[in-house]
Amino acid sequence: MEKFQLSLLFKIIGIGSASGLVYHEDKLYIISDNSTFLYEYSIPTENLNKIALVENAQDNIVKKDKPDFEAIALKGTDLVLLGSGSTENRNMIFNYAIPTGKIQKNNIGVIYQKIKQEFAISDDELNIEGLIMDNNQIYFFQRGNGLKGKNAVIFSKDTPQNQQFEYVSIDLPTIKNITATFTDAILVEDKIYFLASAEDTASTYLDGEVLGSIIGRMDAKTLKVEFTQEISNTNKFEGLTLYKQSEKEIEFLLCEDTDSEILESNIYKLVLDKTK
């Protein structure tokens, strides 16, 4: 697939370092890896609502203390927000019920530890950047930006008792000789669309020079990559959500992590030609 259109749709003032988003009923729900707010942006009214996930929530938290929210997924009418697991204080999971506003907080560290032990992932290699929750199936997308450089999909039945995981390593292309690594993923019917970016760093903690981003698609059952397409050589896109689709085109909204403390976020529209 080669035909695509990428354009800046709008800018939201009040959100920095956007790392994930969900489009639902004319609203965008956005997370930031520097923040302990969930942001609700009404597209028709351009109104931004900040939902505090904890007491004394902050927009900009210093790197060593931040919960590092990198993944957000819609499950029914609930939003699930996930820390990356790249340090001990990044193991939090939040459930936000859209109809009621009820917030539940838990620690997913035990599950992350089980994943690390089962698949020989070191503490400084685990970096979950994407989450899909589909009925009783859960998929974690491991960003391979550590020293071993292994992208993977880790999935299981979403049952609290006797949870069994499977690990599938995914080969992704390079951008300027640096392998692209997962930054988000969503399920659309029987296909998984994903984002990946290349950064000149071998650390899950430290940022590096941004070399670009790709979008790709894989079969949800086989996890076989069907295509990848470079969409930027300057942006680090970290959030992907379905916006609209027709027989000929599919439209996504993307957010960009600029790795800065400036409280503004650009939202992009990406259109793919489904006939190619």
For residues 202-216, average pLDDT = 74
For residues 15-35, average pLDDT = 94
H, E, C per residue of the chain = CCCEEEEEEEEEECCCCEEEEEEECCEEEEEECCCCEEEEEECCCCEEEEEECCCCCCCCCCCCCCCCEEEEEEECCEEEEEECCCCHHHCEEEEEECCCCCEEEEECHHHHHHHHHHCCCCCCCCCEEEEEEECCEEEEEECCCCCCCCEEEEEEECCCCCCCEEEEEECCCEECCEECEEEEEEEECCEEEEEEEEEECCCCCCCCEEEEEEEEEEECCCCCEEEEEEEECCCCEEEEEEEEECCCEEEEEEEECCCCCCCEEEEEEEEEECCC
For residues 5-9, average pLDDT = 96
Extents of the domains making up the chain? 4-273
Is the confidence at residue 275, as pLDDT, over 80? no
| pLDDT tens for each residue of 104-160 | 999 999 999 999 999 999 888 999 999 999 888 899 999 988 777 789 999 987 665
Is the confidence at residue 212, as pLDDT, over 60? yes
Task: Give residue 158's pLDDT.
Answer: 64
pLDDT band at 189 (very low <50, low <70, confident <90, very high): very high
Task: Give residue 204's pLDDT.
Answer: 46
What class, spelled out in words, does domain 4-273 have in CATH? Answer: mainly beta
